[in-house]
Structure 1
């Protein structure tokens, strides 16, 4: 499994707190843009779905959602949302070809070791339909660091991410940057990129 076990333990222990903190995710402007860009009857993957707020918003919009997370407590919460199919899986367990019109990888791949990122992106691109939309949100910076509550983070610059997406066969498009307080209480800069297969 390419997600650090200590990171999974932290999310399991803080699942309820994280669910409360991300309650407003369904109103996320990037999620609205993502949903609006998908065709009618679309199928999407919510990678690292957490408590399932985003997946639930997609389902309400008529999208068939596959939601995965490596933390059982998160999967249980995601499964409770109407229209969401959720199961426990790591990034290494993604399979299939040309399944999804869109992939929502919102602040999930940042917990995978940097050495594994090209491999993960290659599998995700394979599962994306030609021309499909790939959303990625990541914290920006350099290196791999464990935060104050024990989660392992892999940080990237915006240029570095653009290069990785292009190398994986995606065409990066719009990007946005900002800063937000995380589960550890610290402010962190981030980047969101929309790319197409």
Structure 2
């Protein structure tokens, strides 16, 4: 995440958190959670308000979470009632740790040139057969909007990225509309990926 984008989130932490906390994500949970073992360990990567981490926790999953914004992580820690780490995707360094990784509207702030390396880190952090959920605003450009930098992806862009740079396998890709009021015209690309057991360590 660029300094500019990080500054935006640190300065607007409370209003951003408030605006996303009550968004209905049930349709996305219904795609992801059935693929995670009961009581499995889920990482909410770029957790924002910790809305999703809290839901996973309430469903009996073990949850870890991080966010790049110190101010947002502080709010998320209070809400989740557990520590939320302050770190970026580029600082994720673990192996075979998570049954599922949830990257909801968070990877879209990673510059396109850094996405291959970040997807490798996510792949390594997953257990064999672990599942990764990602979402991006739909498109194929890098752009600045309201003081934040975005990397937009469509199906072809994501497929190329995964195929050329990782051993992850795409289980499913689909489009959805934004669930926030006044944002219905915004389209999102969603995808579920898995780490194949055949990966050579």
Normalising by structure 2, what TM-score?
0.88
Pick from 161, 172, 178: which aligns with 1:174? 172
Pick from 153, 157, 162: which aligns with 2:154? 157
Following superposition, the deviation at residue 124 of structure 1 comes to 0.7
Secondary structure of 1:24 counterpart: coil
The residue aligned with 1:145 is 143
Following superposition, the deviation at residue 182 of structure 1 comes to 7.1
Check 1:121–1:183 CA distance in 2 against 1; reply closer, same or farther (3 A cut): farther
1:1-197 matches, cutoff 5 A: 3-25=1-23, 27-82=25-80, 84-147=82-145, 149-167=146-164, 168-180=166-178, 187-197=185-195
Pairs aligned (count): 194
Instruction: Give a deviation string over 1:127-156, Cα, whole Å, max 9, x none.
Output: 101111110000121221100x21001111
Q: In structure 2, how many angstroms separate the alpha carbons of the residues matched to 1:185 and 1:68?
A: 26
Following superposition, the deviation at residue 46 of structure 1 comes to 0.7
- Say if 2:155 and 2:189, in contact at 8 Å, map to a contact too: yes
Following superposition, the deviation at residue 17 of structure 1 comes to 1.7
Normalising by structure 1, what TM-score?
0.90
Q: In structure 2, how many angstroms separate the alpha carbons of the residues matched to 1:25 and 1:196?
A: 26
**Structure 1 regions of 5+ residues with no counterpart?**
none
Instruction: Give a deviation string over 1:54-76, Cα, whole Å, max 9, x none.
Output: 01111111111110101011111
Q: In structure 1, how many angstroms separate the alpha carbons of the residues matched to 2:100 and 2:183?
A: 31
